[in-house]
Amino acid sequence: MAMSRQLRKVMRRNAAEIAQHTTRIIYDTQPGGKLVRISDASALAALEKAFTFLFKNGCEPVVFQLSQDAARGFPSYRPDLLKRGYSAWLGVAVDQDDQPCYVMEQIDLPEVDPTTQRRMAEQVALRRLSALCQTSGLTGEWAETLSRPNLS
């Protein structure tokens, strides 16, 4: 289902408020699969900033590089990957039911120029984000677990 122009306008006008609400109800999985609410201030700030940008810019999927502090705040963060030089990236989009979703990816990028690294990271994050956006709900597999924000 394509997002209506009217809904995009509402989201653009209320981007900060919708982003703030979305980050209050967002979950992640810990290694091992336990579902937990994200509570780290740095991770929540990164999500809120990314969702605000998403809503203000027509809900087109977007990817941002995360600081290590923000990445550490996600329950799915794997510190062992940091030691091997992985960088962390946050992708945000809306799913087929116009609900916000995200991915936090830790990616091992080759030693190439920063522009090429960013393009490569975007491809990885957007590929996973695309799979989530084909499923109803805030982040796909959690659709039945979470309450959804009223975006209208």
Identify whether 142 is part of a domain: no
Domain of residue 20 covers 5-133
Phi, psi of 21 (to 5 degrees): -65, -45
Identify whether 144 is part of a domain: no
Identify whether 77 is part of a domain: yes
pLDDT digits (tens, 9 = 90+) for 22-31: 898 888 888 8
Q: Give me the number of domains the chain comprises.
A: 1
Token look-up 């989009």 returns 93
Q: What residues are paired with 27 via a beta bridge? A: 37
Rounded-to-integer distance, Cα 100 and Cα 98, Å = 7
In this structure, which amino acid lies at residue 4? S
Identify whether 145 is part of a domain: no
Over residues 31-36, mean pLDDT? 86
Task: Look at residue 86 and tell me whether its pLDDT is greater than 70.
Answer: yes
Identify whether 42 is part of a domain: yes
Identify whether 86 is part of a domain: yes
Identify whether 138 is part of a domain: no
Instruction: Please tell me the least confidently modeled range out of 21-25, 97-101, 106-110, 136-140.
Output: 136-140
**DSSP class of residue 87?**
E
Please give the pLDDT value at position 151. Answer: 44
**DSSP class of residue 4?**
P
Task: Look at residue 143 and tell me whether its pLDDT is greater than 90.
Answer: no
